[in-house]
């Protein structure tokens, strides 16, 4: 009598056959340096694809419940922005900052693949450290139709922060808006320091510093505005 293992079809209809693999050591597949189990999984799948060891059964679409699963399972060149955004929504992490950051990361995918790999690694690390919280979500602004030939004028730093991608932010833009809002010398020095380090040098730190700066600046601005309005009402 045949066993269940002999009669049951492979999960998803996909099988791998190593019968034709000869004279290949594990070191040649995985390297000779210590690696994480996630990296081992990527290497074995890369070897299977490169040597066409898998069956040709149609691939069953997989649903990912978190970004770490997606990162473990999908090759860098096969990752898609809409898939990552969908996963973030599933994880209830859909704040403006995260969406802006991942859109900027995917701009590197075809132009600078090496930088894309580092950036996506950093992004996954950021999301792994972040706990979903409705209180922490920033309001998503309604889309506004704009004249492409007419420059956008931002009245507050919050507007600029919500509209402009991190990698497109400019030091001069920050200074102009801050000056309009009555910023002080120390605040100009702080933002100058952030932009000196820059997005390209350390995207993760730049994003965190910009988030913190805008939040602190807007809190101080609201407090100052509130005091001014009280004085004028007396």
At 44, is the pLDDT very low, low, confident or very high (cuts 50, 70, 90)?
confident
Residue 230, pLDDT above cutoff 50: no
Residue 48, pLDDT above cutoff 60: yes
Written in H, E and C, the secondary structure of the chain is CCCHHHHCCCHHHCCECCCCCCCCCHHHHHCCCCCCHHHHHHHHHHHHHHCCCECCCCCCCCCCCCHHHHHHHCCHHHCCHHHHHHHHHHCCCCCHHHHHHHHHHHCHHHHCHHHHHHHHHHHHHHHHHCCCCHHHCCCCCCCCCCCCCCCCCCCCHHHHHHHCCHHHCCHHHHHHHHHHCCCCHHHHHHHHHHHHHCCCCCHHHHHHHHHHHHHHHHHHHHHHHHHHHHHHHC
Confidence (pLDDT) at 8: 47
Mean pLDDT for the stretch of residues 98-121: 88
At 175, is the pLDDT very low, low, confident or very high (cuts 50, 70, 90)?
very high
Average pLDDT score over the chain: 79
Higher-pLDDT residue of 188, 232: 188
CA angle 111, 112, 114 (to 5 degrees): 150
Greatest CA separation for the chain = 95
Mean pLDDT for the stretch of residues 124-130: 81
Mean pLDDT for the stretch of residues 13-21: 75
Q: Which of 7-11, 34-38, 143-147, 219-223 has the lowest mean pLDDT?
A: 7-11
Return the structure tokens found at 154: 């931002």
């Amino acid at each position: 009598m045949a066993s269940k293992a002999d009669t049951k079809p492979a999960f998803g209809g996909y099988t791998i056959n190593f019968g034709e693999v000869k004279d290949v050591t594990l070191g040649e597949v995985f390297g000779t340096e210590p690696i994480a189990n996630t990296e081992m999984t990527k290497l074995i799948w890369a070897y299977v694809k490169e040597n066409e060891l898998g069956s040709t059964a149609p691939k069953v679409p997989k649903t990912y419940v978190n970004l770490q699963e997606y990162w473990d399972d999908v090759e860098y060149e096969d990752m898609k922005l809409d898939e990552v955004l969908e996963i973030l929504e599933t994880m209830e992490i859909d704040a403006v900052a995260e969406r802006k950051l991942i859109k900027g990361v995917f701009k590197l995918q075809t132009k600078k693949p090496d930088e894309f790999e580092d950036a996506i690694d950093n992004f996954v690390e950021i999301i792994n450290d972040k706990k979903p919280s409705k209180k922490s979500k920033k309001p998503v602004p309604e889309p506004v139709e704009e004249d492409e030939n007419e420059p956008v004028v931002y009245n507050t730093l919050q507007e600029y922060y919500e509209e402009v991608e991190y990698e497109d932010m400019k030091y001069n833009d920050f200074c102009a808006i801050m000056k309009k809002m009555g910023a002080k010398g120390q605040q100009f020095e702080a933002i100058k320091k952030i932009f000196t380090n820059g997005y390209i040098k350390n995207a993760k730190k730049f994003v965190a510093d910009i988030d913190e700066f805008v939040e602190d600046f807007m809190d101080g601005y609201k407090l100052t505005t509130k005091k001014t309005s009280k004085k004028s009402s007396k």
